[in-house]
Structure 1
Amino acid sequence: MSDHSVLRITRELYELTKGGDLSIAAACRDVDVRRVRALIIGPPDTPYEFGFFEFLIKFGKDYPTKAPYVISLTTNRGQTRFNPNIYSIGKVCLSILGTWRGSSGEEWSSAQGLESVLLSIQSLMSSNPYENEPGFEEARGEEDKKLQQLYVEKIRHETLRISVIERLEDHLGIDRKQNKRPTHITPDAEPNPEVDEWEPFKDKCKLRCLWYFQSYMNSINDGMAKHKDGTRFERMPFEGHGNQMDGQFMYSQLKKRLLVVREKLDEETALWAGEGLIAVQKELTIANNIKRQYEQTVELFKRLDSPLDIELIDDNPFVWILTLVGQPMTNLDAGIVRIRMHISPNFPEEQPRVVVLTPLFHHRISSSGQLCYFTTRDSSNLASHVQAIITAIEDENPAYDPRTLVNPEAAKLLWGSPEDKKTYNRRLRRSVQDSLEYGY
C-alpha cells in the first residue's frame, strides 16, 4: 500500500472521530489501518431507529482510486437481510461501491471517502426501505402499501432484537442460550469478522442504549399493541431463500429482555464507584489522573466565576456531583440542578455516564434522568465533559438534531408548533421551580 493511501485513510479516520458525529463512527487497529470497523446508528423516524449496525471496510492498495470493499456484520449470523441493498451474507449494494449499477455520476470517485460511504449506507435506512428494491419503488395498489408497512414492521422488530438487545446482551455478558456464535468461514475465506473479539464500539453502544432506552420501550409498546406474539413475518416478493428476513413478532419477550439489559447497565455503572475506590486505595495511575483532573476542573470553573459547584461523593474521584444554579432570565432561572457523573476506571476508553438527579422536563434528559451530551473537544479531558454537560442543559435555542432527542415527549413539544414550544418552556420552568423543593 502506498504511503499516500495510508495517510489518506488515517486522515479520514481522524476527521470522522474529531467531528463528534453521533450517528456514525469508525475505528481500526494500529497494526492494520486498511481494515476499518464502522458503526452506523439507525436514523430516527425509520424502522432502523437507534439500532447499531456494524460494517467491515477494507481498503485496497489502490485506494482512493478504487472504492473500498464493504461488508455488513449485523446479519444475525448470516440469517437476516436488513434491507433490499444489505444482504444476509453481508453484501452491500451501492453504486459508489461498484456493487450495484447506478446512473451516470453515481460511480466511485477519489473525491469520495470513508464518511461518504457511511452516509450513503445510512441513506439506505429510510422510512420505507421496501422501495429500495428495483421495480418496487412505487406502491401499485393497496396490496403493495400493505406489504410496505409489513416490511417496515418486521425490520423494526429485528432492529430491536438483533442490533440492540442481542448486541447489548453480548456486551454485558447476559446469558442467552440460543443463537450461539458460529465458527464458519465467510465467502472470502477469511475468519468471520462477527466472531472477532475486538469490539471498538462496545462503550458507545452501551451509552447510547441508556440515552435511547425510552425510544426503544416506546417502539416495543407500540409493537405489542399491533402484533400478537407468535405472528410470523410476511415474506416480501423480492426475498429469496437464504436472503430474507424470517421470524415472528415476540414483543413481550423483547420488553423483558430490554429491561434486563437496562438493569445490567445500571449495575455496571454503580460498580464503577466501587472499582474506583479500589483504584484509589491501590494508588493506581488512573486514580491519580482522575483526582488531578477533578482538582483542575474545580479550579477552572472557579476562575471562570461559573455558577457551578463540583464535589465528590465519599471523597471518591470517580463519582462527581455537579450543582448548577440557573442563570437569570432563562428557563433555568434560580433553579438548582444536581447532576451525577460516573467515571469509569477504564476512562477514557469508557466515557462518563451522566444522570440529572433533579427531575427536569428537558429534551436532552430522559425520563430516568440520563443526559445526552457530547464533546467535540478532547474526550479524555473531564473539564471538557463538564462544559458540554452545562451547555446541553442551558441551551435554550438548540439546533434540531433528532439524535439527541432522548425525551420524545419534550422533543415533540420543543420542535412542534409555536404553541407547543410555549408549552415546553412552561413545563421546563415548572420543573425548575419544583427543583427548589426537591430533597437531596
Structure 2
Amino acid sequence: MANQSILRITRELSEIQRASDLSLAVACRDIDVRHVRALIVGPPDTPYEFGFFEFTAKFTREYPTKPPAVNAITTNSGRTRFNPNIYAGGKVCLSILGTWRGERSEEWSSAQGLESILLSIQSLMSSNPYENEPGFEESKTDYDKKNQAAYVAKIRHETLRISVAERLEDYLGISRGTGVTVYDAEEDFQANAADAPFEPFKDLCKRRFLWYYESYMRSVEIEAKKHKDGARFEKMPFEGTGNNMEGEFNYTSLKKRLETIYEKLHEEAHSWAAEGLISVQKETSIASNLQRQFEQIVESYRRNDAVTIDLELVDKNPFVWQLVLFGRMMTNLDGGVFRIKIYLSPKFPDVLPRVKFETPLFHHRVSPDGILCYNPSRKDDMRTHIAAIIEAIEEESPAYDPRTLVNYEASKLFWGTPEDKKIYNRRLRRSVQDSAE
C-alpha cells in the first residue's frame, strides 16, 4: 500500500512537471516525495494576476484513498488572508480536501489527484474573490458591491507587494524597500548548501518576473491613480482577528521596489559572463558541456536549409551566446536580421538562460525591453532552447494564452479587431525592415 502510494505521487508529480501549463509547478526533495511544494501563478485578468502563490501538500500512506493536507505558504508570515477560502494561517477551505462542506459530487475521490486540487485552488483566484464567501449570492446592496471592489483592490496590491516584490527581494538578497543588496543570495546558497532552505521555484519566479514586468508596472500605474499612498485597506465583514488582510496602499514604494528587482535580475544575468570564464578556467563539466552543445548546434543548423542563423560565443565564452536569426521568406519576418543575446548560468540547467532581443521587435512575445517569452521542451538541452526561441517569434497563428503575452500594446492589437490585426502586422513589418538597416 505504501509503495503504491509513493508510485502514484511520483507519477502525478512527473505528469504536472511535463505538462505545458504555465500556471502550475510542483517539486519535492528526492528523499521525501510525500512532502510536496506547489506554486500557482495567479490567473490573468484577476487581482492575483501573475502573483506567485506557494503551497505545501503532505501525503499520508492512505493516499489516494484520502486527500493530502494542503496549506498556503504565501501568507505574509500568517498575517494575510488572500481569499475567503485561503486563511492567513494557511488553511485552504475546499470540499475536495474535506476542509469545507460541499455536495457529495464535490468531495474527494481516489480518481482525483494533486493537479485537480491545484486547479480547484486556482479557481478560487477569480476576478471577484469576494464571491467565494458563503452568502455572497444574497449580497445585493450597494454596501456589498463597495466591499467587493475594496476587496479586489487590496488583494491586487498585496499580490504585488507580498507574492511578487517580497519574494523576489528575498531571492535576490535585497533589503526590503531600500533596494540595497545585503548579501549575495547565490553565494550564500552555495556556501550553506546542506542547510539551505528548499526553494524549488526561485529561478521560475525570476524568469517569470522578467516576462511579466510590464504587466506589473502597468497595474501599478493604473491602481496608483485610484488609491493614495497611506490609505488604509477596508476590513471585510468575513475577516476576523488574525485572519484578515490589514495594511495600506503604497504604490509609489511598490513601483521603486519592482524597478530595483528588474535591475538586479539584469545585473545577475550579466554577472554570469565573468562567473562562466572562471568556470572555463577551472575546466568544469558545465563549461565543457555547454561548449560541446554549442558546437553540435552550430553543426546541426549548418545542415538545416529551413532556418538560417548565425551562432557565436561572445569572447569565446560558452556562457554568453550571440544568436543572429534571419527572417524566413514568405513570413512576416522576411528580410529581418535579429540579434539575440543568450546568458547562461554556471548553474544551468537548474537556472535557465535569460534571452534578450538586442534588435527591437514589435511582437506579442517580446517585451518592450526585449525580454523574450519562450518555453523549451527540455530544460537541459540548448538545442530545444534555440528551437523554442525561433518558434516563439515565427508562429503566425498561435493559440491565445495571456500567460505568454509580454507586450501589452502588441498583444492588444494582435488579438483585437481585424483592423487592429492589420495595424499589428504593419508595425511588426516596420520593425523587421528597421532590423535590416
Instruction: Kindly report which structure 2 residues correspond to 1:264-283, keeping only aligned pairs within 5 A, or say none.
Output: 264-283=264-283
Partner of 1:360: 361
* Contact persistence 2:177–2:257 (CA under 8 A): no
Partner of 1:427: 427
Partner of 2:324: 323
Partner of 2:412: 412
* Contact persistence 1:211–1:370 (CA under 8 A): yes
Partner of 1:172: 172
Give the secondary-structure state (helix, strand or coil) at the position aligned to 1:38: strand
* Contact persistence 2:12–2:114 (CA under 8 A): yes
User: Which segment drifts farther, 313-322 or 72-81?
Assistant: 313-322
User: How high is the sequence identity, in percent, across the aligned residues?
Assistant: 66
Partner of 1:115: 115
* Contact persistence 1:79–1:243 (CA under 8 A): yes
**Alpha carbons of 1:269 and 1:138: their partners in 2 closer, same or farther (altered >3 Å)?**
farther
Q: Are positions 1:37 and 2:37 aligned together?
A: yes
Runs of 4+ in 1 over 4 A off after TM superposition: none
Q: Aligned-pair distance for 1:286? A: 0.9
Give the secondary-structure state (helix, strand or coil) at the position aligned to 2:39: strand
Partner of 1:20: 20
Give the secondary-structure state (helix, strand or coil) at the position aligned to 2:35: strand
* Contact persistence 1:20–1:375 (CA under 8 A): no
2:293 and 2:365 mapped to 1: Cα distance? 26
* Contact persistence 1:131–1:138 (CA under 8 A): no
Q: Are positions 1:140 and 2:174 aligned together?
A: no
Q: Are positions 1:78 and 2:55 aligned together?
A: no
* Contact persistence 1:269–1:342 (CA under 8 A): yes
1:227 and 1:140 mapped to 2: Cα distance? 25
Q: Aligned-pair distance for 1:177? A: 8.0
Q: Aligned-pair distance for 1:142? A: 2.0
Instruction: Kindly report which structure 2 residues correspond to 1:139-288, keeping only aligned pairs within 5 A, or say none.
Output: 139-176=139-176, 197-288=197-288
TM-score (norm 1): 0.94
* Contact persistence 1:130–1:137 (CA under 8 A): no
**Paired residues, what number?**
420
1:138 and 1:159 mapped to 2: Cα distance? 28
1:367 and 1:232 mapped to 2: Cα distance? 34
Q: Which amino acid aligns with 2:18?
A: K
Give the secondary-structure state (helix, strand or coil) at the position aligned to 2:209: helix
Deviations 1:124-151 (Å, cap 9, x if unpaired)?
0000000000102354022221111111
Partner of 2:188: none
Give the secondary-structure state (helix, strand or coil) at the position aligned to 2:36: strand
Q: Are positions 1:372 and 2:367 aligned together?
A: no
Instruction: Kindly report which structure 2 residues correspond to 1:90-109, keeping only aligned pairs within 5 A, or say none.
Output: 90-109=90-109
Which runs of 5 or more structure 1 residues have no equivalent in the other structure? Answer: 179-194
Partner of 1:53: 53
Partner of 2:346: 345
Deviations 1:58-104 (Å, cap 9, x if unpaired)?
01111011111100000000000000000000000111011111123
2:423 and 2:83 mapped to 1: Cα distance? 39
* Contact persistence 1:321–1:338 (CA under 8 A): yes
1:30 and 1:428 mapped to 2: Cα distance? 46
Which runs of 5 or more structure 2 residues have no equivalent in the other structure? Answer: 179-194
2:62 and 2:401 mapped to 1: Cα distance? 37
2:104 and 2:151 mapped to 1: Cα distance? 30
2:362 and 2:138 mapped to 1: Cα distance? 41
Give the secondary-structure state (helix, strand or coil) at the position aligned to 1:314: helix
2:104 and 2:111 mapped to 1: Cα distance? 16
1:161 and 1:115 mapped to 2: Cα distance? 27
**Alpha carbons of 1:147 and 1:177: their partners in 2 closer, same or farther (altered >3 Å)?**
closer
Instruction: Kindly report which structure 2 residues correspond to 1:384-403, keeping only aligned pairs within 5 A, or say none.
Output: 384-403=384-403
